A and B are shown apart, each in its own frame.
Chain A
Amino acid sequence: MSLESKIPAGPLAEKWEKHKFNVKLVNPANKRKFNIIVVGTGLAGASAAATLAELGYNVDAFCFQDSPRRAHSIAAQGGINAAKNYQNDGDSVFRLFYDTIKGGDYRSREANVHRLAEVSTEIIDQCVAQGVPFARDYGGLLDNRSFGGAQVSRTFYARGQTGQQLLLGAYSALTKMVNTGKVKMHTRKEMLDVVTIDGAAKGIVTRDLVTGKVESHAGHAVLLCTGGYGNVFFLSTNAMASNGSAAWRAYKKGAKFANPCFTQIHPTCIPVHGDYQSKLTLMSESLRNDGRVWVPKDKKHAKITAAEAVKLPESERDYYLERRYPSFGNLVPRDVASRNAKMVCDEGRGVGVTGLAVFLDFADAIKRDGQKTIEAKYGNLFDMYKQITADNPYEVPMMIYPAVHYTMGGLWVDYNLSTNVPGLYALGEANFSDHGANRLGASALMQGLADGYFVIPYTIGDYIATLPLGQAVDKSNPAFAQAEKEAQARIDKLLNIKGNQTPDDIHKKLGHIMWEYCGMSRNKEGLEKARGMIQELRKEFNKDLKVIGANEELNMTLEKALRLEDFLELGELMVIDAHNRSESCGGHFREESQTEEGEALRQDEEFSYVAAWGYEGEGKDPSLTKEDLVFENVKLTQRSYK
Chain B
Amino acid sequence: MAGKTINIKLKIWRQAGENKPGKFESYEVNDVSVDMSFLEMLDVLNENELKKGNDPIHFDHDCREGICGMCSLYINGKPHGPKHGITTCQLHMRTFNDGETIVVEPWRASAFPVLKDLVVDRTSFDRIMQAGGYVTVSTGGVPDANEIAIPKTVADEAMDAAQCIGCGACVAACKNASAMLFTSAKVSQLALLPQGGAERKRRALAMVEQHDAEGFGACTNTGACEAVCPKEISITHIARLNREFTRASFSGNETDYQN
Chain A interface (Cβ < 8 Å from any Cβ of B): 47, 50-51, 54, 65-70, 72, 74-75, 84, 86, 122, 124-131, 133-142, 158-159, 161, 164-165, 168, 171-173, 175-176, 178-179, 185, 187, 210, 239-241, 273-274, 276-279, 281, 305, 353, 387-391, 453-454, 457, 500, 502, 504-505, 546, 548-549, 553-554, 556-557
Contacts and interface: CB of A to CB of B under 8 A. Distances in A.
Interface stretch (B59-67, B212-220, B233-241, B250-258): B59-67
Interface residues of B, number: 77
A232 to B, nearest CB: 17
A125 B116 contact: no
Nearest to B17: A553
B234 to A, nearest CB: 15
Contacts of A171: 129
Contact of B137 (A68, A130, A239): A130
Contact of A131 (B90, B149, B193): B193
A388 B166 contact: no
B196 A553 contact: no
B139 A54 contact: yes
B195 A128 contact: yes
Contact of A187 (B123, B134, B152, B166): B123
B137 A274 contact: no
Given A140-B149, A173-B139, A387-B90, A66 B121 contact: yes
Given A72-B68, A173-B139, A388-B92, 14 more contacts: A66-B123, A67-B166, A74-B63, A129-B137, A133-B189, A136-B155, A140-B151, A159-B163, A175-B133, A274-B35, A278-B39, A278-B64, A387-B86, A546-B50
A608 B1 CA distance: 50
Given A137-B152, A387-B86, A557-B50, A131 B68 contact: no
Contacts of A241: 62
B189 A74 contact: no
A241 B92 CA distance: 21
- What 7 pairs across the A-B complex have the smallest Cβ distances? A140-B149, A172-B134, A129-B142, A128-B145, A133-B159, A554-B116, A133-B158
Interface in B35-71: 35-37, 39-41, 43-44, 47, 50-51, 53-56, 58, 60-65, 67-70
Contacts of A277: 40
Given A240-B61, A500-B51, A278 B195 contact: no
B195 A131 contact: yes
A445 B178 CA distance: 34
B10 interface: no
A69 B137 contact: no
Interface string B122-158: 1101100111011111111011111001111001101
Nearest to A354: B2
A69 B166 contact: yes
Contacts of A276: 33, 36, 40-41, 43-44
B67 A161 contact: yes
Contacts of B162: 133, 158, 165, 168
A54 B138 contact: yes
Given A67-B125, A70-B62, A548 B67 contact: no
A178 B152 CA distance: 32
12 contacts: A67-B166, A125-B143, A126-B139, A131-B135, A140-B149, A141-B149, A210-B116, A276-B41, A276-B44, A353-B2, A390-B35, A390-B94
B169 interface: no
A122 B166 CA distance: 28
A273 B129 contact: no
A127 B166 CA distance: 20
B67 A75 contact: yes
B150 A140 contact: yes
A172 B135 contact: yes
Given A131-B190, A305-B2, A175 B94 contact: no
Contacts of A75: 63, 65, 67-68
A377 B216 CA distance: 40
Q: B134, B142, B145 — which one has the most chain A CB atoms within 10 A of its CB?
A: B145
Nearest to A498: B53
Contacts, number: 216
Nearest to A305: B2
B129 to A, nearest CB: 5
Contacts of B62: 65, 70, 72, 239-241
A122 B140 contact: yes
A84 B145 CA distance: 10
B75 interface: no
Contacts of A138: 152
A555 B23 CA distance: 19
B68 A70 contact: yes
B16 interface: yes
Contacts of A54: 138-139
B119 interface: yes
Contacts of A125: 142-145
Given A172-B129, A276-B43, A353 B142 contact: no
Interface string B182-213: 00000001100101100000000000000000
A86 B146 contact: yes
Given A130-B195, A274-B35, A502 B145 contact: no
Contacts of A130: 134-135, 137, 195
Contacts of A70: 62-63, 68-70, 166
Contacts of A305: 2
B140 A278 contact: no
A168 B133 CA distance: 10
Given A67-B126, A173-B134, A176-B134, A274 B92 contact: no
Interface string B91-117: 010100000000000000000000110
A220 B145 CA distance: 35
A178 B130 contact: yes
Nearest to B94: A390
Contacts of A387: 86, 90, 92
A50 B139 contact: yes
A42 to B, nearest CB: 11
Which of B51, B129, B142, B144 counts the most A-chain CB atoms under 10 A from its CB?
A: B129
Given A134-B155, A387-B92, A556-B56, A74 B130 contact: no
Contact of A66 (B63, B70, B146): B70
Interface string B68-97: 111000000000000000100010101000
Contacts of A172: 129, 133-135
A273 B137 CA distance: 46
B3 interface: yes
A353 B39 CA distance: 22
A141 B63 contact: no
A261 B58 CA distance: 34
Contacts of A505: 47
Nearest to B162: A133
Contacts of A134: 145, 155
B67 to A, nearest CB: 5
A75 B94 CA distance: 25
A279 B54 CA distance: 24
B91 to A, nearest CB: 9
Contacts of B137: 126, 129-130, 173
Nearest to A176: B134
